[in-house]
Amino acid sequence: MNLKTLSNGDYAVFFIYFIIVASYGWWVYKRKHNADATSKDYFLAEGSLTWWAIGASLIASNISAEQFIGTSGSAFKMGLAISTYEWMAAITLIIVAVFFIPVYLKNKIFTMPQFLHQRYNGTVAMIMAIFWLLLYIVVNLMSILYLGALAISGISGLDIHLCIWLLAIFSAVITLGGMKVIGYTDVIQVAVLILGGLMASYLALTLLSEKEGTTGLLNGFKILHSEATDHFHMIFKKDNPNYMDLPGLSVLIGGMWITNLNYWGCNQYITQRALGANLKTARGGILFAAFLKLLMPVIVVLPGIAAYLLYQKGMFHQEMASSSGVLDPNKAYPSLLNLLPTGLKGLSFAALTAAIVASLAGKANSIATIFTLDIYKKAINPEATDKKLVNLGKISVLVALLLGILLSELIGKALMGEGKQGFQYIQEYTGFVSPGIFAMFILGFFWKKATSNAALFATVGGFIFSCFFKLCPRFIDLSFLSPYGFSKLALQDDKVTQLYEIPFLDRMGFVFIICVIGMYIISKIDQARGVTTNGLEIESSMFKTSRGFLAGALIVTGIVVALYSIFW
């Protein structure tokens, strides 16, 4: 039997899913569509998303190919520790709901460049709008398309180039309906992807138990925990080969916070879901997303660890080899799904497609929002009508997806293929801009004296310092720093040399500190020169929460603390 083939029954299940999502999206569009809809209504679904739709859309946009494929691949290689991105995100979402969202909503901020324009000036906003567009297209959109197509191809046997085009077309259909369609169809997408992920975990654990002559999920987990003990640690020591990706306590007190707070709090792609709602609804949706985040390792990490143990027991050797014969961790999840029976395989295929399409749709909508509202309307045609902006937004969606397709075809394999971890690629290269962006936002929020010149330093300087710390080990001997948290790598060029390279999460922490210090100094100099700043409307009462939200936040926090205590 050819494992890389979907049966007629699998295709039937998939097309039923496609018809349900498309029909529901069309119904939402027709029921809630207004011929005279404003651009804000199209891009943000102003006032029409419920708390459960916001929470589901946040997770659907976040859990995509980089999670199902990339995170499972990282779990195959490094184990449960990769769950730190999920469990730390649950705490981060609570922080964003309490401190970030009230500021955005109180000041009627609907895009991230708008915040920068209002707090600093138009120059900072325009630079960052262009920066974000490049980041979203070159890193995020391309990686989602490539990794998603890699997975779809691995399960269906279809050509990877055809899969890239089909995913882009499917997501375009969803995206062109606007944020309302995306938000409400994401509820179905999340339900399907959670169900499919749970089935993959069920299959993996039952396979393990059967191989040992027992039955049941619990026995499968016991076998997994006992025979893959090295894959059940959250905090790595320096002698761990994966230390460069997750450097010890930095995941708790270092750069991981910058990664998460920037992603969940300063990211148009994510915050857009909540910016069109009132504060109570937005906070409820974000708290719901935090609870869902706690479940994500069961769906995307556990299958990767199980695939690792099954691989050690002689399975998946052919399926997980790249075209050149190199072990490719990105193929762990598709290889596991190929073992599902007819029907269930089709549903899991639908779940994977749902995750990819939902994320693509959300990313394309955010790209269109930033280009249309923050670049075109601000710099090109300030007098543009709402109808023109909506039409331009739809064109921008198609152009962004086309660019994503071209980049995936040209450089996707070079950057993320041949045994590389796709998830780590996304995290590292996003990390070149995250420290400066987060420094600019956090000081802009809570320090009224931060100036536009200081923000420009963080924007440009943060990127330059990130590049410096990435490249400097090739020119500067950093071996004297090795006892203080730097990791030694043996890199082979023409000869074997010893280099001391900084883990990218530590690099992000160092760059963030430099950006904050630089912003402070520059702001003080500007203040002495009489430079004025644009403040935000902030009141202490904005940060008060309801008892229900507080209770939910404490439960989430307690669960995260317990999980780290158990798997330290």
How would residue 350 be classed by pLDDT, with cut points 50, 70 and 90? confident
Contact yes or no for 451/533 (Cβ under 8 A): yes
User: What's residue 453's pLDDT?
Assistant: 94
User: What's residue 311's pLDDT?
Assistant: 86
CA distance 269 to 62: 9
Residue 496 has pLDDT above 80, yes or no: no
Mean pLDDT for 188-212 is: 80
pLDDT tens for 452-465 read 999 999 989 999 99
Q: Are strands 487-492 and 496-501 parallel, antiparallel or unpaired?
A: antiparallel
Percent of the chain clearing pLDDT 90 (strictly above): 18
CA distance 434 to 506: 13
* DSSP conformational letter for 163: H
* DSSP conformational letter for 141: I
CA distance 332 to 75: 9
Residue 497 has pLDDT above 50, yes or no: yes
CA distance 259 to 267: 11
User: What's residue 480's pLDDT?
Assistant: 59
pLDDT tens for 441-453 read 999 988 989 999 9
How would residue 40 be classed by pLDDT, with cut points 50, 70 and 90? low
How would residue 388 be classed by pLDDT, with cut points 50, 70 and 90? confident
Calculate the alpha carbon distances from 399 to 215, 402, 404 in Å. Answer: 51, 5, 9
How would residue 427 be classed by pLDDT, with cut points 50, 70 and 90? confident
How would residue 483 be classed by pLDDT, with cut points 50, 70 and 90? low
pLDDT-wise least confident of 272-276, 481-485, 540-544: 481-485
Calculate the alpha carbon distances from 412 to 5, 54, 55, 220 in Å. Answer: 24, 31, 30, 36
How would residue 481 be classed by pLDDT, with cut points 50, 70 and 90? low
- Length of the chain counted residue by residue: 568
User: What's residue 182's pLDDT?
Assistant: 63
Contact yes or no for 319/222 (Cβ under 8 A): no
CA distance 219 to 231: 17
* DSSP conformational letter for 341: P
375 burial level (CB within 10 Å; 0-12, 13-18, 19+): middle
On average, the pLDDT of the chain sits at: 81
User: What's residue 492's pLDDT?
Assistant: 47
Mean pLDDT for 157-180 is: 78
pLDDT tens for 509-554 read 999 999 999 999 999 999 999 888 887 888 777 889 999 999 999 9
Token pair 């995509």 is found at 64
Q: Alpha carbon 189 to chain centroid distance?
A: 16
Q: Alpha carbon 258 to chain centroid distance?
A: 14
pLDDT tens for 307-339 read 888 888 888 777 777 666 677 787 788 788 777
CA distance 547 to 549: 5
The beta-strand segments (E) located in 372-420 are none
Q: Alpha carbon 361 to chain centroid distance?
A: 13
pTM: 0.82
CA distance 423 to 147: 9
pLDDT-wise least confident of 64-73, 116-125, 299-308, 555-564: 64-73
Closest CA to 66 of 420, 567, 502: 420
Residue 59 has pLDDT above 90, yes or no: no
User: What's residue 252's pLDDT?
Assistant: 87
Calculate the alpha carbon distances from 288 to 86, 341, 356, 546 in Å. Answer: 14, 32, 21, 15
Residue 265 has pLDDT above 70, yes or no: yes
How would residue 2 be classed by pLDDT, with cut points 50, 70 and 90? very low
Residue 294 has pLDDT above 90, yes or no: yes
| Of the ranges 152-161, 183-192, 325-334, the best mean pLDDT one | 152-161
Range(s) of the chain covered by CATH 1.20.1730.10: 50-377+388-419
User: What's residue 351's pLDDT?
Assistant: 73
CA distance 74 to 80: 9
User: What's residue 523's pLDDT?
Assistant: 95
Closest CA to 508 of 271, 266, 251, 268: 251
Token pair 């707090």 is found at 119
CA distance 311 to 334: 13
Mean pLDDT for 205-209 is: 86
CA distance 560 to 86: 10
Mean pLDDT for 468-476 is: 73
Mean pLDDT for 140-149 is: 81
How would residue 212 be classed by pLDDT, with cut points 50, 70 and 90? confident
Calculate the alpha carbon distances from 178 to 132, 173, 175, 397, 404 in Å. Answer: 20, 10, 6, 10, 19
Token pair 């040399």 is found at 497
- Please give the single-letter amino acid code of residue 265: G
Contact yes or no for 176/364 (Cβ under 8 A): no
Look up the CATH number of domain 50-377+388-419: 1.20.1730.10
State both tokens at 385: 């009508």
pLDDT tens for 230-243 read 899 999 888 888 88
